[in-house]
Structure 1
Amino acid sequence: MKKLLAALVCSLPLVSALAVDVYDRDPDHTFAFFEFNHLGFSTQRERFDKVDATVTLDLENQVGSVEVSIDVRSISTGSSMFNQILLSDTFFDVEKFPVVTFKSTKLNFGKLDDVVSVEGELTIKGITHPLTLTVTQFKCAMHPMLRKSACGLNATGKLRRSEFNLGRFAPLISDQITLLVSMEALKR
């Protein structure tokens, strides 16, 4: 009996580890957007088309992590001239800093095992600052078309571009940027 009890106690971490699910982003449904005020005339929304993300979730224990990598060259503004300006050393300096990353430090859960916010560190141009993303929509379920477990979320956060050495033309072009994320991820 003691051996059986010892074996059960030793296997508890393994059972707990089995509850952890790993999801990889669906590239056709995962994008990062950013919005800014342009000279007081309009709010401009730009997008990065290539966003790689891995999500680890243990809903039962309400823990998890998120790692995101954004290919800066995939910026899509609708204007090839504006794309080139943003990719230049004046802004993103894509030759030296081709990737933007976000690594979570904590996922915060609501009453229904839903993720309500993600705390983490955002790195742009080699500069890292904390960023909290507020989750506005979260759902995990069986994907009706792919017949795989899937999770999706929409999230938003605010940052100051000047903190990442992207502050040119502020305050004419707003220093505060709204970051928006739309992600769907499929279980491995």
Structure 2
Amino acid sequence: MRTTLFALAAASLFAGAVQAAPATYAIDPTHTFATFEIDHFGASTNRARFDKKSGSVEFDKTAKTGKVQIELDMTSVNSGTAPFNKHLQSADIFNVEKFPTAKFVSDKFVFEGDKLKEVTGKLTLLDQTHPITIKSNKFTCYESPMLQKREVCGGDFEATIDRTQWGVNYGIPYGFPKNVRLVLQIEAVKQ
């Protein structure tokens, strides 16, 4: 009986040691890009990105779970054209004077087998929070030879949102679409 109890206790300790704990990763701003695209009268596509971003990822490879928090500095919106940047920053669109940041928070990673399929969470923009699902186009973890073999995880993601849910209504009467495509490239370094 005593041997059985000892064996069970040892097995329990061993099982706990084998389970991987979630690891924390810091967003690498030099390899992370958040851009958006919106149709321009069916003739072209307007695009812009946010140059300043920060955040963290908590990821447990074994359990296939994770958490994400990414913050965008809305004042850093960059379309490549200064007058358009000013309009994007204005009260017509992002109202950066009143709402200088946007945030995406998620605590649900959805896997199909070993492949990350999507990340669901909530986007806060203009002080309004609504759920979004971000599709994973590719995702992997690797040892970076540039960072003394530290682990980096990242991938390409995208989502299409109805901007009017967040109160971004500019141009609707002129025929601008409600739908905006978000394109995200994210890499995060294990801490």
TM-score by length of 2: 0.89
Between the two proteins, the alignment pairs up a number of residues equal to: 186
Please give the secondary structure, in 2, of the residue aligned with 1:84: helix
1:22-73 deviations in Å (ceiling 9; x for gaps)? 1111111111000000122101211011121211111111111111100001
- Read off the aligned partner of 2:163 and give its amino acid letter: R
State which of 159, 172, 175 in structure 2 corresponds to 1:172.
Answer: 175
- Percent identical residues: 34
5+ residue gaps, structure 2, are none
**Matches of 1:119 and 1:185 in 2, distance apart?**
18
**Matches of 2:139 and 2:187 in 1, distance apart?**
10
Do the aligned partners of residues 11 and 90 (structure 1) sit closer, same or farther apart at CA in structure 2, a change above 3 Å counting? farther
**Matches of 2:22 and 2:163 in 1, distance apart?**
35
Please give the secondary structure, in 2, of the residue aligned with 1:61: coil
1:77-106 deviations in Å (ceiling 9; x for gaps)? 111111111111111111111111011131
5+ residue gaps, structure 1, are none
**Matches of 2:95 and 2:15 in 1, distance apart?**
49
Contact 1:105–1:121, Cα closer than 8 Å, also in 2: no
Do the aligned partners of residues 123 and 13 (structure 1) sit closer, same or farther apart at CA in structure 2, a change above 3 Å counting? farther
Contact 2:71–2:103, Cα closer than 8 Å, also in 1: yes
- Structure exhibiting the larger radius of gyration computed from Cα positions: 2
**Residues 1:30 and 2:39 are matched in the alignment:** no
**Residues 1:142 and 2:139 are matched in the alignment:** no
State which of 61, 64, 67 in structure 1 corresponds to 2:66.
Answer: 64
**Residues 1:42 and 2:47 are matched in the alignment:** no
Instruction: Note the aligned Cα RMSD (angstroms).
Output: 1.9
**Matches of 1:74 and 1:11 in 2, distance apart?**
49
**Matches of 1:25 and 1:14 in 2, distance apart?**
28
TM-score by length of 1: 0.90
**Residues 1:182 and 2:180 are matched in the alignment:** no
Note the C-alpha offset of 1:127.
0.7
